[in-house]
Amino acid sequence: MATHAPSFGSLDLPRPGRAALPLLALALVALALEASPELRLAGLAAAACFVLAAAVRAERARAELRAIRRSADRLILASARGVVLLRRLLRGPGSPLYDEHAGNLSRAFARVLMELEP
């Protein structure tokens, strides 16, 4: 499971490096088994397993972070398209929101549009 650290307000974003740290520490402990001649091979095998597990955990955290970034990009693009559609609806020729009878409604949409623009 990836470790999370708050970085932007209440967002918990995955940290690939921090996700792998505990397993890398265990790999170092397993390498300490090399001091004993009887456990030399076991120490290397255990260290290799921990390093592999750390790499898998870091890659999963990276994949989760990429998925979050893709979702954020999609939301940004969707809201940008929404602003463009509102602008066309509000200012388009022959728009029902543009004529005199819908003046109050078009002003309300204009306020919303101004709030949505960056």
Parts of the chain with a pLDDT under 70: 1-11, 82-110, 113, 116-118
The domain spans of the chain are: 4-116
Nearest to 13 by CA among 80, 74, 71: 71
d(CA 95, CA 88): 9
Residue 12: φ, ψ to 5°: -105, 100
Tell me the C-alpha to C-alpha distance, in Å, between residue 96 and each of 81, 99, 100.
20, 6, 9
**Residue burial 47-78, b: 16+ Cβ < 10 Å; e: rest:** beebbebbeebbebbbebeeeeeeeeeeeeee
pLDDT (0 to 100) of residue 6 = 45
pTM for the model: 0.58
Paired sense of beta strands 4-8 and 11-14, if any: antiparallel
What is the per-residue pLDDT across 77-90, written as a single tens digit (0 to 9) for each?
Answer: 777 776 666 666 65
